[in-house]
Structure 1
């Protein structure tokens, strides 16, 4: 196996108060046939927190940047792309949208392959996630909420 190239990324568990005020709603994106959480790669000169809010804003089409509440969790996974092996560490934050963005329409970032942006209640979001490590992220969020 070739040497693994490290990648740093950041993203967010964007939440709002749920309709029954029991469990919050989580904002998810639909990309490549799976429900996912918004995230992306760190750019040069950017902090991890700056990356997280920029990527969330870009992927869901916000006009403002979300507000970070706390750092939640880190995930790591490896993948191969065009013969290169990558090891990706993603830093996850709990974050909220500004009030004017919470109920508004989202503009999915189509150039990133995102087809839909949708709110789910937390328990349904855990079931819908297309990747097991994202359930860990949502579990960390759930623990933080309690």
Structure 2
């Protein structure tokens, strides 16, 4: 099962023939822009759109998904310092984790480290493990696109000045302990919350 987020509304992709409460659509027949507009309209009215995109083959689910919208691949980091604080950025009024688009012929792990460095000023980063892949829809130049972000856990001994990349709309960069991270996640995105344990979300 996969979840593609439109704002904070998840569209479920699954090989299950039905999911209770969700409207099933065969993924090969999906008119994604039409459904996205419906999700956004319902969200604006305080309603929840529940869509389930179905295919019996998991591989075909992703293949069809990638064919429905232009795909942007990104890398990002959930970064810990020596005190086990987590690195957050604030962009568009919400707390987020640093991430960004890969460049041509760039390896995804290299992109993730580069983007964290550029967006926060933090260096000395070391990837400790791959965490998760998230999917969300965004609009650029009047066109809906699918962002696929590969998230990595990272660590660093960096204790220098944090520098927000203002030309990317980042207004703050902060190390947050568990208490502050829990508070930040109340003003974050659903696909970011997926990277945290229930201890942070409860």
Cross-structure match for 1:74: 133
Instruction: Please tell me whether the aligned partners of residues 75 and 89 of structure 1 are also in contact (alpha carbons under 8 angstroms).
Output: yes
Provide the TM-score with structure 1 as the length reference: 0.82
Structure 2 unaligned spans of 5+: 1-32, 35-67
Cross-structure match for 1:35: 95
Q: Looking at secondary structure, tell me which structure has more strand per residue.
A: 1
Q: Which portions of structure 1, spanning 4 or more consecutive aligned residues, are displaced by more than 3 angstroms?
A: none
Cross-structure match for 1:45: 105
- Tell me: higher relative CO, structure 1 or 2? Use CA pairs within 8 A at least 6 residues apart: 1
Matched, 1:135 2:200: no
Provide the TM-score with structure 2 as the length reference: 0.60
Cα deviation code 1:29-71 (max 9, x no counterpart): 0111111100000110101100000000000013x34110000
CA 17–65 in structure 1, closer or farther in 2 if over 3 Å, else same: closer
Using the TM superposition, give the Cα deviation of residue 104 of structure 1 relative to its aligned residue in structure 2, in angstroms. 1.5
Using the TM superposition, give the Cα deviation of residue 123 of structure 1 relative to its aligned residue in structure 2, in angstroms. 4.8
Cross-structure match for 2:176: 120
Matched, 1:111 2:176: no
Structure 1 unaligned spans of 5+: 19-23
CA root-mean-square deviation? 1.9
How many residues get paired?
132
Cross-structure match for 2:120: 60
- Aligned partner of residue 197 in structure 2, secondary structure: helix
Cross-structure match for 2:69: 4
